Amino acid sequence: MNMKQGRNVVVVGTQWGDEGKGKLVDWLTESAQGVVRFQGGHNAGHTLVINGVKTALHLIPSGIMRGGVKCYIGNGVVLSVPKLLEEIAGLEKAGVEVRSRLRVSEACPLILPYHVALDVAREAAKEKAGTAKIGTTGRGIGPAYEDKVARRAIRVQDLKYPERFATKLRENLALHNHVLVNFLGAEPVDFDTTYNEAMAYAKALLPMVADVSRELNDANKAGANLLFEGAQGTLLDVDHGTYPFVTSSNCVAGNAAAGSGVGPGMLHYILGITKAYCTRVGGGPFPTELEWEKEGTPGYHMSTVGAEKGVTTGRSRRCGWFDAALLKRSAQVNGLSGLCITKLDVLDGLKELMLCTGYELDGETIDILPMGADEIARCKPIYEVIPGWTETTVGVTDMDKLPANARQYLARIAEVTGVPVHMVSTSPDRDHTILLHNPFAA
Ligand code: GDP
Ligand code: IMO
Ligand code: MG
């Protein structure tokens, strides 16, 4: 039988996360049969609004709200099993069938209570010492990835073998409790409690555990279109972001292959989800940041009209102007095929918009975001002014119905970043999206 192989699309955030990835992944599932998460963990918060009903997802891929779509958690994700089960229970309560549609890689490193304890204690120690906090989500993400790279992680597959699990847990606790107690002055984590809890949730998890790499390859060969759903954003990538104010995984498109077990040749189209302005949660440099707490300012407008509060931690997001020089870095490291500009409607009513096209750094002019937090913190943005629009764009689904100045803003973004705009989002709702080029079309 000679079946046509499916087409695959990677969806990544091009800024500091919260660009609207969840909304677009959900919308694109109209053309896909599977969605896979390939990095991050429950630090992510992806919001879907369908017929006015809001769903927040943290670990479960944003394909779950479309019946029949399969969801996969790839090996690149660090997994908190209790948090996953909590999320499943919430969806089941809302009438969504999850267990028969979700596959979890047996190679996922587990997030265990000592990872959370280390994450929280380290941030507290930084605060006490007066050094800049990363502002993590406190979910244990960084310590879990450290264990993976140090080759001592306990993985999903270890849950199948209680003795093996116990041996690894004992070894890990010997190290981590030493650090928690003697270096960080925190409480140790108890072996028995951790072990018993893990064995209890293993029973619920194991029926969903699978060889995700094989299932994805088989499904694709049989004709399924797949979506690879990024979490966080390019500037939070551990290599390419505002290091060290980053998360601990590679958020860039290339990791869609390594983090799910498919070859890079299977990634056909890379969609960069890009907010029409910029936001960031947590610490770290942000060249185009505005004052966003003072009423009457453009930053306050973005913060309030855009409802810029984190889905995972409830923290306010910092707000600022669109940064096209940052987008150039994102386009380069992701190999973007097209942009989806989200939250365009939030800019409705602003008299003029500033678009950053480059920076002054140490007396020189540069046109692309440099590497690393120290260099980025010294960047002074260079802006061009673009006229705003007074008309509402909320819910517009046709490019021709956008105000001329909004179209000019989008055209200028495409011109400066060198990436075409293929989609525009004009409200949180699934259907309020302008499609200029379908990523699933060859
Ligand atoms: P993600 O982490 O990239 O999936 O994004 P989040 O869900 O954390 O944050 C995006 C927020 O913006 C959510 O509250 C969405 O419902 C909302 N949103 C997404 N697209 C649009 C849009 O085009 N307009 C408006 N006003 N809100 C949007
Ligand atoms: P989504 O997928 C925005 C940020 C945290 C912190 C830094 C490191 O919804 O876009 P971590 O807990 O990962 O060690 O924290 O990364 N961060 C996010 N910011 N959206 C996210 O996910 C984020 N996930 C982590 O605020 O600055
Ligand atoms: Mg989010």
pLDDT, one tens digit per residue, over 134-178 is 999 999 999 999 999 999 999 999 999 999 999 999 999 999 999
Q: What is the percentage of the chain residues whose pLDDT exceeds 70?
A: 99
Here the tokens at position 282 are 């947590």
By most ligand atoms within 8 Å of CB, the mutation choice from 339, 340, 343 for ligand 1 is 343
Cβ atoms of 44 and 299 within 8 Å: the answer is no
Tell me the pLDDT of the chain (442 aa) as tens digits: 456 899 999 999 999 999 999 999 999 999 999 999 999 999 999 999 999 999 999 999 999 999 999 999 999 999 999 999 999 999 999 999 999 999 999 999 999 999 999 999 999 999 999 998 999 999 999 999 999 999 999 999 999 999 999 999 999 999 999 999 999 999 999 999 999 999 999 999 999 999 999 999 999 999 999 999 999 999 999 999 999 999 999 999 999 999 999 999 999 999 999 999 999 999 999 999 999 999 999 999 999 999 999 877 888 999 999 999 999 999 999 999 999 999 999 999 999 999 999 999 999 999 999 999 999 999 999 999 999 999 999 999 999 999 999 999 999 999 999 999 999 999 999 999 999 999 999 7
Distance CA 228, CA 256 (A): 6
By most ligand atoms within 8 Å of CB, the mutation choice from 19, 38, 43, 309 for ligand 2 is 43
- Using the mean position of ligand 1's atoms as its centre, give its distance from the Cα of residue 227 in Å: 18
Task: Please give the single-letter amino acid code of residue 340.
Answer: C
Distance CA 257, CA 265 (A): 9
Neighbours of ion ligand 3 (CB under 5 A): 18, 45, 311
Distance CA 394, CA 177 (A): 52
Distance CA 436, CA 154 (A): 45
- Looking from the CA of 48 toward its CB, the CA atoms found within 13 Å total 21
Residues with Cβ within 8 Å of residue 136, at least 6 apart in sequence: 43, 119, 123, 142, 247, 282
Nearest to 108 by CA among 238, 10, 209: 209
46 CA closest ligand 2 atom index: 9
Maximum C-alpha span of the chain = 66
Confirm whether 374 is a catalytic residue. no
List phi, psi (to 5°) of 35. -130, 135
Scanning 229-297, the segments in alpha helix (DSSP H) are: 255-258
pLDDT at 3: 67
Catalytic residue among 42, 46, 328, 422: 46
- pLDDT tens digits, 296-322: 999 999 999 999 998 778 889 999 999
Q: Domains in the chain, please, with CATH? A: 10-73+211-247+272-442 (3.90.170.10), 113-205 (1.10.300.10)
Strand order in the sheet with 226-229: 209-210, 102-105, 70-73, 34-37, 226-229, 8-13, 269-275, 338-342, 421-425, 433-435
pLDDT at 1: 46
Task: Please give the single-letter amino acid code of residue 334.
Answer: N
Q: Please state whether the peptide bond connecting residue 244 to the residue before it is cis, i.e. omega within 30 degrees of 0.
A: yes
Confirm whether 115 is a catalytic residue. no
